[in-house]
Chain A
């Protein structure tokens, strides 16, 4: 997990992939959840499908957010407040990073 966050801090989305069967370990893990071989960090596809979205009004966590599935990697992404979203649309990760509180964030754009 520390290595995952180090990549994210550098703005790079890297995910552990099984060195034996190529299964993605998500959430990040040094072991493959399918065959339990070791994993290694790899670049993965960062376009996906928007499964659901909403607006948050929680203090310090305001904004448009949604669940994105990128070939089996499911995460909650942030969207520009002006983005016009609909369930099922294609989206692409535009940037990622780690907040001062140590929480990773993933920003997405709508694929035109």
Chain B
């Protein structure tokens, strides 16, 4: 099978909000990439913005005449879905180079799912996150301090990331005493929807020959169980979508959880990172809380979603962008030492769908 490399990646500074249109935001991380590579066959725009023909408008603004251009939306995992599509197009031979852009406005119309009436009056993401957290605490004895430790770690990492929204570290006490949103979840256990954009350039194996130090996409696993909260997580304390996607990606990439050196996981809420440790096999079932206090694998070196902010359609692309930088050794102050295999875990809507990707550099 034809291999696919990530040849370049860029992330723009995330902001709470901005005057920029979705199109301008989308162009921002692409300027340097497009200046150096003019021959781009596909442009895929990942966004929950409902602006018409947006991928094609951005292509025209960037002076690209691609063979393929369209928008991809799958809520919070739009980004990794767009990358999975671009990967497939290259493997199939439809194109040799694909620019995948993730861009979002904090107030994009499509950021919130309205269709899901199974959530009743309590239809904010924090409400299902509270159910997951309470179930995990009740079943495994996970504590609020362990959840807070995730926030402390990710905010500390974000302080070293010039593109992160939150660059001020927080203490365990600050997280624990922050405003209660939905018990046991507090303000600093939550991420914030924001403006942001990120882009990655995917190349076929042949085209990547000229690239110095390419990062390879070694596997993609995906699973969709439902669109509603009702069908998302059978027992509320684990995400079957993520564990199935992980099982598939480990098999495809020929690696085990212990081979992962660096990971970006979907920490839209602190409890999700604890569940990710277990669903990805980093920790045994029920021991994610304890794992949060150990940090054996470098998880969320860019600061994760908690530290960077959550530009919904851009999040997955920015996660992949970070792991590509880490593996290429270009992560600057955030560089994790000696990393060769990296993982990205990206969820949507209460974990009703999940993508897990494994990236690597030549051994």
Cβ-defined partner of A105 (8 Å) among B121, B124, B126, B131: B121
Inter-subunit contact B183/A26 (CB<8 Å): no
For residue A87, CB closer than 8 A to chain B, the reply is yes
Inter-subunit contact B117/A87 (CB<8 Å): no
Interface residues of B in 102-156 (CB under 8 A from A): 115-124, 126-127, 130-131, 134-135, 138
Min CB–CB distance B59 → chain A (angstroms): 35
Inter-subunit contact B181/A105 (CB<8 Å): no
For residue B228, CB closer than 8 A to chain A, the reply is yes
Query: Which of A4, A53, A87, A103 gathers most chain B CB within 10 Å?
Result: A103
A4 contact set on B, CB distance < 8 A: 117
**In whole angstroms, what is the CA distance A103 to B122 when docked?**
9
Inter-subunit contact A27/B122 (CB<8 Å): no
Interface residues of A in 54-85 (CB under 8 A from B): 54-58, 61, 63, 65, 67, 73-78
Inter-subunit contact B122/A76 (CB<8 Å): yes
Inter-subunit contact B230/A103 (CB<8 Å): no
For residue A28, CB closer than 8 A to chain B, the reply is yes
**In whole angstroms, what is the CA distance A52 to B233 when docked?**
13
For residue B180, CB closer than 8 A to chain A, the reply is yes
Inter-subunit contact A52/B135 (CB<8 Å): yes
B123 contact set on A, CB distance < 8 A: 61, 76, 103
**In whole angstroms, what is the CA distance A73 to B119 when docked?**
12
For residue B236, CB closer than 8 A to chain A, the reply is yes
A61 contact set on B, CB distance < 8 A: 121-124, 127
**Considering only CB atoms, which chain B residue lies closest to A56 in the complex?**
B182
B117 contact set on A, CB distance < 8 A: 1, 4-5, 27-28, 103-104
CB within 8 Å for A54 and B134 given contacts A26-B230, A61-B124: yes
Interface residues of B in 173-191 (CB under 8 A from A): 179-184
CB within 8 Å for A67 and B182 given contacts A28-B117, A56-B122, A56-B127: no
**In whole angstroms, what is the CA distance A53 to B182 when docked?**
10
For residue A51, CB closer than 8 A to chain B, the reply is yes
For residue B229, CB closer than 8 A to chain A, the reply is yes
CB within 8 Å for A53 and B134 given contacts A58-B181, A76-B229: yes
CB within 8 Å for A74 and B121 given contacts A52-B236, A55-B182, A57-B180: no
Inter-subunit contact A54/B229 (CB<8 Å): no
B184 contact set on A, CB distance < 8 A: 54
**Considering only CB atoms, which chain B residue lies closest to A28 in the complex?**
B117
Inter-subunit contact A56/B118 (CB<8 Å): no
Query: Which of A65, A73, A76 gathers most chain B CB within 10 Å?
Result: A76
**In whole angstroms, what is the CA distance A74 to B352 when docked?**
14
**In whole angstroms, what is the CA distance A1 to B227 when docked?**
14
Inter-subunit contact A75/B230 (CB<8 Å): yes
A55 contact set on B, CB distance < 8 A: 182-183
**Considering only CB atoms, which chain A residue lies closest to B132 in the complex?**
A52
B236 contact set on A, CB distance < 8 A: 51-52, 67
CB within 8 Å for A75 and B120 given contacts A26-B230, A53-B134, A54-B134: yes
Interface residues of B in 288-324 (CB under 8 A from A): none
For residue A106, CB closer than 8 A to chain B, the reply is yes
15 contacts between A and B (CB under 8 A): A52-B131, A52-B236, A54-B131, A54-B134, A54-B184, A57-B182, A58-B126, A63-B122, A67-B131, A74-B229, A75-B119, A75-B120, A76-B122, A78-B120, A104-B117
Going nearest first, the 8 A-B pairs with the smallest beta carbon separation are: A74-B230, A54-B130, A65-B122, A105-B121, A76-B120, A56-B182, A52-B131, A75-B118
| Given pairs A27-B230, A76-B121, A87-B138, 16 additional interface contacts (CB within 8 A) | A27-B117, A51-B135, A51-B236, A52-B135, A54-B130, A54-B182, A55-B182, A58-B124, A61-B121, A61-B123, A61-B127, A65-B120, A74-B229, A76-B119, A76-B131, A103-B120
